[in-house]
Amino acid sequence: MPPSEIPIYQRTMETFFQSHAYLIEHTNAPIRRALMDSIDWSYRLIGIRGPRGVGRTQFLLSYAKDNFDPRMRQCLYANMNSFYFQGRKLVDFAGDFVKAGGQVLLLDQAFKLPNWREQIIECYEHFPLLRIIYSTTSVRGGENDHTELNSLARQYWLHGFSFREFINLQTGENFRAYTLKELLEDHKGILKTILPKVRPWEYFQQYLHHGYYPFFLEGRNFTEQLLRAMNTMIEVDILFIKQIELKYLERIKKLLYLLAVSENTTPNVSRLAEEIGTSRATVMNYLKYLEEARLVNLVYKENEGFPKKPAAVLLHNPNLIYSIYSPSISEQNIMETYFVNSLWRHHTVNKGRRDGLYRINGNVEIHVCDRSKRVKSDPNIVLARYNTEVGRGDNEIPLWLFGFLY
> What mean pLDDT, rounded, does the chain reach?
93
pLDDT digits 0-9 by tens, 175-206: 999 999 999 999 999 999 999 999 999 999 99
Lowest-confidence range among 76-90, 137-151, 334-348, 370-384? 137-151
Is the pLDDT at 286 greater than 90, yes or no?
A: yes
Lowest-confidence range among 35-49, 134-148, 257-271, 330-344? 134-148
Q: What is the mean pLDDT of residues 215-225?
A: 91
Is the pLDDT at 151 greater than 70, yes or no?
A: yes
Question: What pLDDT is recorded for position 220?
Answer: 86
Q: pLDDT band for position 150 (50/70/90)?
A: confident
Q: pLDDT band for position 174 (50/70/90)?
A: very high
**Region class of 243: left (phi > 0), else alpha (psi between -120 and 50), else beta:** left
If one counts every other C-beta atom within 10 angstroms of the C-beta of residue 76, the result is: 25
Three-state SS for 109? coil
Cα distances from 16 to residues 63, 84, 97, 99, 100, in angstroms, run 17, 11, 10, 14, 12
Please name which of 377, 372, 339 lies closest in space to residue 356, comparing C-alpha atoms: 339
Identify any residues that bridge with 210 across adjacent strands, giving them in sequence order: none
Question: What pLDDT is recorded for position 162?
Answer: 97
Q: pLDDT band for position 376 (50/70/90)?
A: confident
Is the pLDDT at 7 greater than 70, yes or no?
A: no
Question: What pLDDT is recorded for position 42?
Answer: 96
All structural domains of the chain, each given as residue ranges with its CATH number in brackets, are: 3-157 (3.40.50.300), 163-404 (1.10.10.10)
Three-state SS for 381? strand
User: What are the DSSP calls for 17-41, one per residue?
Assistant: HHHHHHHHHT---SS--GGGGTS-T
Q: pLDDT band for position 6 (50/70/90)?
A: low
Considering the chain, what percentage of its residues have pLDDT values greater than 90?
85
